[in-house]
Amino acid sequence: MGNLADDPVLRYGPDGKAWVSGRIIENKKDRYDPITKTWVKNENKLVLSYKLSGALAEHFAQSAKKGQRWVITGDLVTREFEKDGVRRSMTEIIGTDAAASVMFGTTSFTRASSGHH
């Protein structure tokens, strides 16, 4: 769960299948330290890439906007690669579902036309 770093951009592959990818950022909350009786700022944040496909990608692109809080579920996949001679890895959520968070606001649901379920 986190906030979208960018507006999702819907794309279509050579096979005509819809897909969208982006980054979701989970900002950790500040915490209260009862010993010092002060709030401690939490600088930690988790940034994950996500990829959605098919009808899920189409619906997500129509619904989601930068900065909104979303929950994306699916499989975590880690890829290893080399960039500038340095071995790196990237973990990505291959999404199977997504939902808008109602922690800080409200939303409504509109069922897609038949053929997209």
Strand partners, 50: 22, 93
CA atoms within 13 A on the CB side of 68: 20
Helix (H) or strand (E) holding 58: helix 54-63
Residue-level pLDDT at 117 = 53
Q: Where are the domains of the chain?
A: 2-91
pLDDT along the chain (117 residues), means of 10: 95 98 88 88 86 97 96 95 92 96 87 69
Residue-level pLDDT at 97 = 98
Q: Is residue 78 a contact partner of residue 93, using CB atoms and an 8 Å limit?
A: no
Q: Which CATH number fits domain 2-91: 2.40.50.140, 3.40.50.300, 3.40.190.10, 1.10.3720.10?
A: 2.40.50.140
Residue-level pLDDT at 116 = 54
